[in-house]
Homo-oligomer: A and B are copies of this chain.
Amino acid sequence: MSYAAFTREVERINDLLCTANLLSWDARVMMPPGGVTARGQQFATVTDCARELATGDAMRRAIEGAERELDGVSPNDPRVRAVRAASAGIGVLSRIPPALLSEAATLKTEGQAVWARARAANDFDAFAPTLERTVEIQRQVAEAIGYDDHPYDALVGTYEPGMTWRRLQGLYAEIKSGLLPLIERALAKPQPRTDFLERAYPVESQKRFARMIAERMGYDFSRGRLDDTVHPFEISFTRGDVRITSRFQERWLPGGLFAVWHEVGHGMYEQGIDPAFTRSAFTTDFVNLYAVGGASFGMHESQSRLWENRVGRSRRFWELHFDELRAVFPDQLADVSAEEFWRAVNRVKPSLIRVEADEMTYDLHIILRSEIEAALIAGEVSVKDVRALWAEKVKATLGLDVPTDTLGVLQDVHWSSGMIGSFPTYTLGNVMAAQLFEAALEAPGVAEGLDRGAYDPLKTWLNENVHRHGRSSLPEDTLVRVTGDGLRTDAYLRHLEEKVGAMPDA
């Protein structure tokens, strides 16, 4: 056995996981209703084959052989790092008993159906037993993986390597104390008009405009495609085939546009991975059995947020492109200025639904979910208290009453999918995006490019400094390399403060 044998095993696993991604993309975009049952079985079989290969004897021997072959080679050698990355991921995966994984998978399928019914019926009690089992199973997963301090660390760590509840609490405290006064300031200012966002915008024209901007941002359609779905997402099957989806609504213009540019951010990350990493340990998430090039869920989200919010919602962006949008919708936007449009798509307004939240209040939604799930996993609160806890936290941070379960605790799919520990990565994405964007603006040509609507310098900088490294660089290491600092909230808070400052006072 040798490094070549290791490479071959990884290639096979990556092929299977890319295939699982295709099964998943197709199920959400193309599959007729009759395919549902068999598709679940196909997905389970394919990922199970990947798991068996990853945790099987051949892989163990290949890793041992590769380690022997590379004995004495520098720890910075990409081969050494590949073996180490695979070995670490497989180590975590191997600690979770297959029976527990299979129970989690079954519960996920059933749980999503139960959740969808409960949400439609506005009935948290109908979902509560499922949530209880999910918490129990995820607690077992956390115990199996192991942790130093808090069981939530084990779960968060599967999405964001090295992140802990203690660290998150510190970040959340900083963000909250920065955000709350900013939101108050924003709300004290005159509110922009938003009436025109709800006029009739034919969907095909929206799509054409969104695509045109996506191409200028640098998303490569010869290695991707854009389709319609209910819930927008990005998924890839190697860097040569990176697909995005969006949802266009005739009477809500920003919905489809910003969703495309968000997914474009994810997509350009995957398209920008070093070609040498194709089918390698650096494009394979062995813990989640997922083919992906991005370093972590948080780092991935940083890329989508960056293009959606830092580019797409910037004042300069609309100064540059509003006339082009108005050329597509001359009647609908006849009485609107670029300035009004920019203000409308940046309106600050506390609301009940996370996915509709503005940039300023978004993190408050994340923080409350994260606090609740950490407490659930630690056994500090029980499922029956979650509804009341939710209402209390929404009131305390967003100042709103929660009138129904559907508009409250039942709104997100995550818990029904067993994804406890993934919510923090949205806020981590916002924070990292701000750090990376600040660094990018210092680089030659980037700020000038943004100023004239040339996005290539920014994209090239991200390719070079973030994208190409794939999973070969931990998020924290990337931040240190690029910004000189680890994860810090100050750039993010600076950005939000500037944003509020730029809003007219009268």
Any B CB within 8 A of the CB of A180: no
Contact partner of A41 (CB less than 8 A), chosen from B11, B30, B36, B38, is: B11
Contact partner of A38 (CB less than 8 A), chosen from B18, B34, B46, is: B18
Return A452 CB to nearest CB of chain B, in Å. Answer: 29
* A19-B46, A220-B34 known; A39 vs B241 contact (CB < 8 Å): yes
- Enumerate A6-51 residues with CB–CB distance to B below 8 Å: 11-12, 15-16, 18-19, 22-23, 26, 30-39, 41-42, 44-46, 48-49
Contact partner of A42 (CB less than 8 A), chosen from B35, B48, B237, is: B237
Return A31 CB to nearest CB of chain B, in Å. Answer: 6
Number of interface residues of A (CB under 8 A): 39
Q: Which of A221-229, A328-336, A430-438 contacts B (4 or more CB under 8 A)?
A: A221-229
A269–B425 alpha-carbon span in the complex (Å)? 48
Any B CB within 8 A of the CB of A302: no
A30–B29 alpha-carbon span in the complex (Å)? 11
A220–B32 alpha-carbon span in the complex (Å)? 10
A39–B241 alpha-carbon span in the complex (Å)? 9
Return A479 CB to nearest CB of chain B, in Å. Answer: 30
Task: Contact check, B36 vs A240: say whether CB atoms are below 8 A apart.
Answer: yes
Task: Contact check, A241 vs B32: say whether CB atoms are below 8 A apart.
Answer: yes
Residues on B with C-beta less than 8 A from A223 are 32-35
Task: Contact check, A238 vs B30: say whether CB atoms are below 8 A apart.
Answer: no
Residues on B with C-beta less than 8 A from A279 are 38, 41
Any B CB within 8 A of the CB of A489: no
Return A46 CB to nearest CB of chain B, in Å. Answer: 6
A222–B35 alpha-carbon span in the complex (Å)? 9
Most B C-beta atoms less than 10 A away, residue of A23, A31, A35: A35
A116–B271 alpha-carbon span in the complex (Å)? 29
Residues on B with C-beta less than 8 A from A35 are 223, 237-238, 240-241
A48–B9 alpha-carbon span in the complex (Å)? 13
Any B CB within 8 A of the CB of A278: yes
Most B C-beta atoms less than 10 A away, residue of A33, A34, A220, A223: A34
Task: Contact check, A16 vs B225: say whether CB atoms are below 8 A apart.
Answer: no
The proximity string for A residues 207-235 relative to B, scoring 1 for CB distances below 8 Å and 0 otherwise, is 00000000000001111110000000000
Residues on B with C-beta less than 8 A from A240 are 32, 34-38
Residues on B with C-beta less than 8 A from A23 are 19, 22
Task: Contact check, B41 vs A15: say whether CB atoms are below 8 A apart.
Answer: yes
**Quick one: copies of this chain in the complex?**
2
The proximity string for A residues 345-387 relative to B, scoring 1 for CB distances below 8 Å and 0 otherwise, is 0000000000000000000000000000000000000000000
A35–B15 alpha-carbon span in the complex (Å)? 12
Task: Contact check, A15 vs B37: say whether CB atoms are below 8 A apart.
Answer: no
A35–B39 alpha-carbon span in the complex (Å)? 22
Return A33 CB to nearest CB of chain B, in Å. Answer: 5
Task: Contact check, A225 vs B41: say whether CB atoms are below 8 A apart.
Answer: no
Return A336 CB to nearest CB of chain B, in Å. Answer: 34
A31–B29 alpha-carbon span in the complex (Å)? 13
Return A278 CB to nearest CB of chain B, in Å. Answer: 7
Task: Contact check, A32 vs B224: say whether CB atoms are below 8 A apart.
Answer: yes
Task: Contact check, A237 vs B39: say whether CB atoms are below 8 A apart.
Answer: yes
Contact partner of A16 (CB less than 8 A), chosen from B26, B36, B46, B278, is: B46
Contact partner of A26 (CB less than 8 A), chosen from B22, B42, B222, B239, is: B22
Return A5 CB to nearest CB of chain B, in Å. Answer: 15
Most B C-beta atoms less than 10 A away, residue of A15, A48, A223, A278: A15
Contact partner of A225 (CB less than 8 A), chosen from B12, B18, B30, is: B30
Residues on B with C-beta less than 8 A from A37 are 240
Return A355 CB to nearest CB of chain B, in Å. Answer: 27
Return A475 CB to nearest CB of chain B, in Å. Answer: 26
Task: Contact check, B225 vs A38: say whether CB atoms are below 8 A apart.
Answer: no
A19–B17 alpha-carbon span in the complex (Å)? 12
A42–B46 alpha-carbon span in the complex (Å)? 12
A34–B279 alpha-carbon span in the complex (Å)? 15
- Enumerate A43-71 residues with CB–CB distance to B below 8 Å: 44-46, 48-49
Interface CB pairs A-B, < 8 A, 13: A11-B45, A12-B48, A18-B38, A19-B42, A30-B30, A32-B221, A32-B223, A32-B224, A32-B225, A34-B240, A35-B240, A38-B278, A49-B49
The 9 residue pairs across chains A and B that have the minimum distance between CB atoms: A34-B223, A35-B241, A15-B45, A34-B240, A38-B238, A15-B42, A35-B240, A12-B45, A19-B42
